[in-house]
């Protein structure tokens, strides 16, 4: 049980004494070259891929005395404005909380929630203020897999459960009650996503995707479907993005086959018409038709090359893709060239996405498995394993978030009047209602 050190700031800085597990982590101030004004507030009932659930009590404990430097960022909006926060998770897990409304993307505080040296694999939050962090190896055979439930109101773990079946990048249903957990991108022997009850951490079911090495997950905005990508292949040696009903955990569609037979990160538009899929061994992405399961376009990057091309690659240049909340642009990672490439996708399905820009990073990628995600208001793209913040209006780097320099595992949580009004259902940047 330790003291959390809240980073001093001009808006009534203070220290909050609360009970937390494990150690204090010192605060720091990130460098920045730009500024953010007041952000637009997401609609509380907009919901797709996150948001307030009308049937769920999301009020925060009134006994928690907190502000932007206290034990819960939620109470930082007494005037009714929406406050936007980034929760970045590094090994430990260590949770770093940044104020996305501040001119320098200020570090609010860091909390050492654990002492593990294993890698963090995934994170999601729920509307009742709970953060779910998975950490361990890419296969349950490599080390012990864990899922931690962490209360953002008190900055302490609620429970930590061993998940014998394995863990990776999970997604959560809109009501916050169910997690869909892949068993690991190195788990080639298995093809399942585990269904986990968030109240207890118990596994209550599973979905057999038919493809080995389960990796990334997106639950649909209404919670009725779950999209699953895996690094392995089916029995025929092919790779697909797989879709299942959450009502009975049965697969009803496969999108593909994906180029080079390895599916990496993906994202979806708000209407679930198009899936934007990253294949291994290709500098570019594919567009899948969700209704038919066919691949509509294979979209290259113009003007840049990647040495890791073709079938059988163990590393890729394009690990990270985000669709702008308005559904108009794709931002795609390019690890080899230290770029993020930008595409206009408004011509779909009649015309292929058009490359419109390539943003040079100020801080190089620190690892090939990078990430990119838009903020909910669409103003910024946060680049994992670089730390750079891209302004989407100017398509230029305007800030730096140090915890993202070493992590690709992060999520946004927005608060208003002490209540969670938005948090995505997965780590992926997807489309939302305009």
pLDDT band at 6 (very low <50, low <70, confident <90, very high): low
d(CA 89, CA 406): 9
Tokens standing for residue 48: 């797709």
> Each residue of 132-171: b (16+ CB within 10 Å) or e?
bbbbbbbbbeeeebbbbbbbbbbbbbeebeebebbbbbbb
Report cis status (omega within 30 of 0) of the bond before 100.
Answer: no
Name the E strands within 74-138.
Answer: 82-90, 94-99, 107-112, 120-125, 130-135
Q: Decide: helix, strand or coil at residue 271.
A: coil
Residue range 387-399, pLDDT digits in tens: 999 999 999 999 9
- Closest to 231 (Cα-Cα) out of 315, 143, 317: 315
Q: Are 36 and 101 in contact (CB under 8 A)?
A: yes
Domain boundaries, the chain: 24-422
User: Cα dist. 274→121, 266, 292, 296, 323 in Å?
Assistant: 26, 10, 10, 9, 11
Q: How far apart are CA 24 and CA 302, in angstroms?
A: 47
- The percentage of the chain sitting over the pLDDT mark of 90, rounded to a whole number, equals 79
Handedness of CA 421, 50, 158, 382 (dihedral sign): negative
Q: What is the pTM of this model?
A: 0.86
**What pLDDT is attached to residue 125?**
98
Does 29 have pLDDT greater than 50? no
| Better-predicted residue by pLDDT, 50 or 338 | 338
* Residue 78 confidence (pLDDT) above 80: no
- Distance between CA 195 and CA 122 in Å, rounded? 15
Q: Would you place residue 76 in the very low, low, confident or very high pLDDT band (cuts 50, 70, 90)? A: low
* Residue 276 vs residue 62, higher pLDDT: 276
Half-sphere exposure of 359 (CA within 13 A, CB side): 28
> Over 50: is that where the pLDDT of 25 sits?
no
pLDDT band at 73 (very low <50, low <70, confident <90, very high): low
295-313: average pLDDT: 95
CATH architecture of 24-422: 7 Propeller (2.130)
* Mean pLDDT over each residue of the chain, to the nearest integer: 86
Residue 160: pLDDT band (50, 70, 90) is very high
**Quick check: 275 and 290 in contact, CB under 8 A?**
yes
Average pLDDT for 373-401? 98
Higher pLDDT, 48 or 320: 320
37 burial (CB, 10 Å; 0-12 / 13-18 / 19+) is: exposed
Model confidence over 59-71: pLDDT tens digits? 222 222 233 333 4
Position of tokens 């997965």? 426
Q: Please state the rounded mean pLDDT for residues 367-389.
A: 97
Which of 24-28, 160-164, 208-212 has the weakest average pLDDT?
A: 24-28
Distance CA 72, CA 302 (A): 45
Q: Is 286 exposed, middle or buried (0-12, 13-18, 19+ CB in 10 A)?
A: buried
C-beta atoms surrounding 273 within 10 Å? 16
Window from 67-71, 75-79, 370-374, 379-383 with minimum mean pLDDT: 67-71
What pLDDT digit, counting tens, does each position of 177-195 carry? 999 999 999 999 999 999 9
């Amino acid at each position: 049980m330790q003291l959390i050190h809240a980073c001093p700031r001009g808006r009534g800085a203070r220290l909050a004494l609360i009970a937390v597990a494990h150690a204090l982590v010192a605060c720091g101030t990130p460098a920045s070259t730009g500024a953010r004004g007041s952000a637009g507030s997401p609609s509380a009932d907009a919901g797709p891929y996150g948001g307030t659930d009308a049937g769920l009590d999301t009020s925060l404990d009134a006994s928690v005395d907190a502000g932007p430097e206290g034990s819960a960022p939620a109470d930082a909006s007494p005037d009714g404005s929406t406050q936007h926060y980034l929760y970045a998770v590094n090994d430990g897990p260590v949770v770093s909380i940044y104020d996305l409304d501040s001119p320098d993307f200020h570090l609010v505080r860091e909390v050492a929630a654990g002492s593990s040296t294993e890698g963090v694999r995934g994170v999601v939050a729920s509307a009742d203020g709970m953060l779910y962090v998975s950490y361990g190896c890419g296969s349950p055979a490599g080390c012990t897999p864990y899922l931690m439930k962490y209360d953002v109101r008190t900055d302490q773990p609620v429970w930590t459960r061993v998940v014998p079946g394995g863990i990776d990048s999970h997604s959560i249903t809109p009501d916050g009650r169910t997690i869909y957990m892949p068993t690991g991108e190195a788990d080639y022997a298995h093809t399942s996503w585990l269904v986990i009850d968030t109240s207890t951490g118990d596994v209550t079911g599973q979905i057999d995707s038919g493809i080995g090495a389960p990796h990334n997950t997106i639950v649909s905005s209404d919670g009725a479907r779950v999209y699953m990508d895996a690094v392995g292949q089916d029995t025929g040696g092919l790779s697909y993005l797989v879709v299942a009903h959450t009502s009975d955990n049965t697969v009803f569609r496969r999108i593909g086959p994906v180029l080079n037979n390895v599916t990496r990160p993906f994202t979806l538009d708000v209407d679930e018409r198009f899936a934007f899929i990253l294949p291994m061994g290709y500098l570019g992405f594919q567009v899948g038709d969700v209704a038919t399961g066919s691949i509509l376009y294979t979209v290259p990057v113009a003007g840049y090359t990647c040495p890791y091309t073709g079938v059988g690659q163990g590393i890729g240049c394009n690990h990270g893709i985000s669709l702008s909340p308005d559904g108009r642009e794709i931002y795609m990672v390019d690890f080899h060239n230290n770029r993020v490439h930008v595409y206009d996708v408004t011509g779909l399905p009649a015309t292929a996405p058009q490359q419109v820009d390539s943003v040079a990073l100020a801080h190089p990628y620190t690892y090939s498995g990078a990430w990119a995600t838009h903020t909910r208001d669409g103003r910024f793209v946060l680049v994992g394993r670089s730390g750079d913040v891209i302004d989407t209006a100017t398509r230029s780097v305007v800030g730096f978030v140090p915890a993202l320099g070493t992590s690709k595992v992060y999520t946004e949580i927005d608060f208003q009047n002490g209540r969670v009004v938005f948090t995505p259902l997965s780590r992926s940047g997807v489309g939302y209602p305009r």
